[in-house]
């Protein structure tokens, strides 16, 4: 029997598909991120009394074998709290495990905030990327935005309402005049659309920010990184002043010399070349 991934409505229950209803009705087991959310949805769809198991990042390794064992002989439906399972949850790992175990997998088409926001943005979609959630640390977040902008394509992101202001402030630091489109509570009663620069959007956000957040960043011509020779000269100067490799990478990333991870590797390599001459007597 197949393991079937079933998209669930993002907000408006009428977005559920007929095939999704059929699978949820016929499944012997429903796997969900949050069983409480799943029970509320099933109750609203008049599908009470279903067997539901929790499957999330914290318990995925422990429950995967039991889920696959059930899927060998019965229909098992996998859902997320809202939208397409497997996008921002550990569902992709479950699919890989099912493939390895020889269990058929089916994925129903359905709601996805990423695609909806991409189209609503009006930005060019000849090429676009889904970046997921930005890193939580400010420096890593700025590096992530800068790397995405250098790709020259529209990028789609999710963010927690608690971190949205900080994320947009970091985006403004990297590209203050980039075009941005933010959707709050997509398909829900209080859906809100915001356009403009990061600062424009920040000034228009409600306080406090609540709800599910997705945003699109338009293609942007970010300034090229300094030439390799300039970067190496800056690395050598900081190493010569007694800075540690990690400090060098952090300082130069802030000055626009590139991503911190790459700078760390380059600084470590330059340091390794310096050590033999530094050890001679």
Query: Is residue 89 helix, strand or coil?
Result: coil
pLDDT of 138 > 80? The answer is yes
Q: Is the pLDDT of residue 276 over 60?
A: no
Report residue 53 as tokens: 């198991």
Dihedral, 40, 45, 47, 49 alpha carbons, nearest 10: 20
The topology under which CATH files domain 3-107 is: Cobalt-precorrin-4 Transmethylase; domain 1 (3.40.1010)
What tens digit of pLDDT does each residue of 47-95 get?
999 999 999 989 999 999 999 999 999 999 999 999 999 887 788 899 9
- C-beta neighbour count of 188 within 10 angstroms: 15
d(CA 133, CA 162): 13
Q: Is the confidence at residue 213, as pLDDT, over 50?
A: yes
Cα separation, 255 vs 225, in Å, equals 10
Contacts of 191 (CB under 8 A, 6+ apart): 11, 183, 184, 185
What share of the chain in percent tops pLDDT 70?
95
Contact 214, 121 (CB under 8 A): no
Q: What is the number of other CB atoms lying within 10 angstroms of the CB of residue 52?
A: 18
- In this prediction, residue 275 carries a pLDDT of 65
For 78, 91, 171, 194, 236, the CA distances from 54, given in Å and listed in that order, are 10, 12, 35, 35, 53
Secondary structure (3-state) at 203: helix
Q: How far is CA 253 from CA 149, 151, 270, in A?
A: 15, 18, 16
Residue 223 pLDDT > 70 = no
> What is the pLDDT at residue 226?
60
3 state DSSP class of 194 = strand
Mean pLDDT of 207-235: 84
- pLDDT band with cut points at 50, 70 and 90 for residue 281: very low
C-beta separation of 140 from 260 below 8 A: yes
Q: What is the dihedral of CA 210, 216, 220, 222, to 10 degrees?
A: 50
CA distance 281 to 264: 28
Helix (H) or strand (E) holding 5: strand 3-5
* Right CATH for 113-217 from 3.40.50.11270, 1.20.1440.230, 3.30.950.10, 1.20.970.10: 3.30.950.10
Percent of the chain's residues with pLDDT above 90:
72
Strand partners, 34: none
Q: How confident is the model over 143-198, as pLDDT tens digits?
A: 999 999 988 899 999 999 999 999 999 999 999 999 999 999 999 999 999 999 99
CA distance 132 to 150: 17
pLDDT band at 227 (very low <50, low <70, confident <90, very high): low
Q: Does 254 have pLDDT greater than 80?
A: no
Q: How many Å apart are CA 9 and CA 185, to the nearest integer?
A: 12
């Amino acid at each position: 029997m197949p393991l079937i991934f079933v998209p669930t409505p993002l907000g408006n229950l009428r977005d559920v598909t007929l095939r999704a209803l059929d699978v949820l009705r016929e499944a012997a087991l429903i796997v969900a991120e949050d069983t409480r959310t799943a029970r509320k949805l099933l109750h609203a769809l008049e599908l009470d009394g279903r067997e539901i198991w929790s499957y999330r990042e914290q318990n995925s390794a422990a429950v995967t074998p039991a889920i696959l064992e059930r899927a060998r002989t019965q229909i098992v439906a996998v859902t997320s709290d809202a939208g397409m399972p497997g996008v921002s949850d550990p569902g992709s790992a479950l699919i890989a495990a099912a493939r390895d175990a020889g269990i058929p997998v089916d994925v129903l088409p359905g709601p996805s905030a990423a695609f909806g926001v991409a189209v609503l943005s009006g930005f060019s979609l000849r090429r676009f990327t889904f970046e997921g959630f930005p890193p939580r640390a400010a420096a890593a977040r700025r590096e992530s935005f800068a790397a995405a902008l250098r790709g020259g394509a529209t990028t789609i992101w999710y963010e927690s309402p608690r971190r949205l202001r900080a994320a947009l402030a970091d985006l403004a630091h990297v590209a203050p005049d980039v075009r941005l489109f933010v959707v709050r509570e997509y398909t829900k009663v209080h859906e809100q659309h915001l356009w403009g620069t990061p600062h424009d959007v920040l000034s228009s956000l409600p306080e406090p920010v609540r709800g599910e957040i997705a945003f699109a960043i338009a293609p942007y011509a970010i300034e090229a990184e300094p030439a390799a020779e300039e970067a190496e000269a800056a690395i050598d100067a900081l190493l010569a002043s007694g800075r540690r490799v990690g400090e060098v990478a952090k300082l130069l990333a802030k000055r626009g010399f590139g991503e911190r991870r790459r700078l760390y590797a380059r600084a470590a390599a330059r340091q390794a070349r310096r050590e033999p001459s530094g050890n001679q007597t």
